[in-house]
Amino acid sequence: MSESTIEQLPALPSDLTLEWLGAKLGHDIKSVENTRNIWGTASKLFYTITYEHESSEQRPKHICIKGVFDPKMIESQPWTVSLAQREAEFFTKVAPTVNNMIFPKGWWSGTTEKQGIAIMNDLTSEGCTFAAEVASYPAEKVMNGVEQLAGLHAHYWGQSQEDHPWIWNNYDPAMKFMVTPWDEVVRGPGRPQLPEYLIDGKRCNEALDRYYAERNPRFRTLLHGDTHIGNIYFTADGRIGFLDWSAFHFGSCFHDVVYHMTSMMSVEDRRAHEMEILDHYLETLHRLGGPKFDRHNDPEVMIEYRRSFMTNVIWLICPDGLQSKERVAALCERTVATYDDHKVIDVILGQPKPASL
């Protein structure tokens, strides 16, 4: 079930009453126990539910309620509301359409101008586990990840914001805002050491602008948008699922693929297996109904693939507090290696500049 309504949604944990929760889940609730909470830009509150009556209907016993439940954060960082709204809209409008991808089961979601709430399964109750702050995984695991992404991409292949006007691109503006103070950030104390060519903020900002402006529409689809290691989980049988759907938007399919691969693998393993992983993604995309691409005989495939590593730029300028220092350091190292290997800045800036730019 889902709603977008003038009803006032809970703004504080204390507003998540038995009556409200029972109305959203469609069953009378006898009691709920708040078992744990994870606070952040969008908070996750976990509950165990006891129902008033027996029922043969499928209904959740262990749930996660995700939303913005800190008025002070909304006051200081109002953009957090849009992220919560976007995730709620995923469960409302996107999740029911996608069959070949693993993500948490949603039970209800809704939005207002001041809130977005999604009620989903508590994954730990299903035996799911999560990646450590810094970890690396073998190619076989990452192949499963790109299979999931191919499922989403194939379903929405070739579509755009014109087809779904409500899916506005919230990702590009956020990234462009974060990279603006490039020189100040990368030269700050305690930051990972970058090669000289990535210290040049003017050139790197130009590359990011051109990457966004010149993405090849042949490869456009709906993206998860934020496929790094912190937004995945492992099911009880070891498959990868994707969390945190606050950044989905239309863009180049390789954005999701390279961002996921870079964060999940050591530099050595990525270098050894990335073409194998790319081929597996392309084969799965075609098998699930997307187009057939040949990276050997279609030069546009590899140009777009190499350009798409620009999306890893977040790890070069990630603000303090957004991710742990350990994760930023590890993923910055992996990102720099991809920039070196694929000559990402040169590939982007070396392309003929469109007349419109």
**Which segments of the chain belong to CATH 3.30.200.20?**
2-126
Compute the C-alpha angle 310/312/315, nearest 5°.
135
Contact 92, 69 (CB under 8 A): no
Contact 283, 299 (CB under 8 A): no
**Which segments of the chain belong to CATH 3.90.1200.10?**
129-350
Digitized pLDDT (tens) for each residue of the chain, 357 residues in all: 444 456 789 999 999 999 999 999 999 999 999 999 998 888 999 999 999 988 878 899 999 999 999 888 777 777 888 999 999 999 999 999 999 999 999 999 999 998 999 999 999 999 999 999 999 999 999 999 999 999 999 999 999 999 999 999 989 999 999 999 999 999 988 899 999 999 999 999 999 999 999 999 999 999 999 999 999 999 999 999 999 999 999 999 999 999 999 999 999 999 999 999 999 999 999 999 999 999 999 999 999 999 999 999 999 999 877 888 999 999 999 999 999 999 999 999 998 887 665
Which residue from 104, 120, 106, 117 is spatially nearest to 47, judged by alpha carbons?
A: 120
Spell out the CATH class of 2-126.
Answer: alpha beta
Q: At the topology level of CATH, where does 129-350 sit?
A: Aminoglycoside 3'-phosphotransferase; Chain: A, domain 2 (3.90.1200)
Grouping H, G, I as helix, E, B as strand and the rest as coil, residue 134 is: coil
